[in-house]
Amino acid sequence: MPENSNPLSDLENEVAELSLALSQQTTSIGELKEVVGRLWKEVDASKIASQQDAVKIHDKIDQWIETNRLILESSQHLLKVIMVNSEETQKSGDSYRSVMKWGEEFSQRQSEYDKTMKQLGDTFSRLKSFHENLQATNEKLTKLNQKKSAGIFPIWRADSFVALGLCGALAIVICGCFLWVTPVLNRINNQLAASAARIQKLEQKQ
């Protein structure tokens, strides 16, 4: 150790240096605390932002799920509507086929009715012609009987009986035609009325 050195002065110098170093370290620690504080603030801000982002993402997921649920419900409803329309279309097709079937039956029965009426008209035409011929024959017999004398009375009676027989035969033929034609016409009219009623019901259902 040098002779002129002062131990107390050296100690003071060392203490001063230590104090300066301590002060510098304290300043560094303060600065470090500030940095750490800022870092914690940034971490907290990041956490808050992350939580907010997570909430937003969760909300978007919920919204997406709700949208898909609504789309699924709409699709199910649309499918039900399509099925109902398909059933209604099938029913309409069945009703249309039923109407066509009854229409064909109605046409057939109408044709039978027209044919029967034509046959009836032909029968009445023949009966009318037969009646006219019978009247002409009766007139001729009447004129002939007026010219004959009383001695030929039996012949007149025979001719009159022939005329009466022809009239009776005509009456029997007419009654027979009416007895045969009337039930047929009634049956055809009943069938036509039933067919018309069924067709009207089917049209009302449509």
Q: What are the tokens at 15?
A: 């203490």
Residue 103 and residue 196 in contact, taking contact as beta carbons nearer than 8 Å: no
Rounded Cα distance between 169 and 44, Å, is: 128
* Per-residue model confidence as pLDDT tens digits over 66-124: 888 888 888 888 888 888 877 777 777 777 777 788 778 878 877 887 887 787 777 77
Q: Is 26 left (phi over 0), alpha (psi -120 to 50) or beta?
A: alpha
Residue 152 has pLDDT above 60, yes or no: no
Q: Smallest Cα–Cα separation from 102: which of 203, 204, 189? A: 203
Rounded Cα distance between 26 and 33, Å, is: 10
| C-alpha distance from residue 17 to each of 1, 21, 26, 192 (Å) | 20, 6, 14, 133
Amino acid identity, residue 116?
Answer: T
- The pLDDT of residue 150 is 47
User: Which domains does the chain possess?
Assistant: 8-205 (1.10.287)
| C-alpha distance from residue 124 to each of 120, 131, 206 (Å) | 6, 10, 44
- The pLDDT of residue 157 is 47
Q: What are the tokens at 22?
A: 């301590």
* Least confident window among 15-24, 136-145, 162-171, 187-196: 162-171
Residue 141 and residue 159 in contact, taking contact as beta carbons nearer than 8 Å: yes
The pLDDT mean for the chain works out to: 70
* Per-residue model confidence as pLDDT tens digits over 177-205: 555 555 656 666 566 666 666 656 665 66
Q: What angle do CA 87, 92, 98 make, to 5 degrees?
A: 125
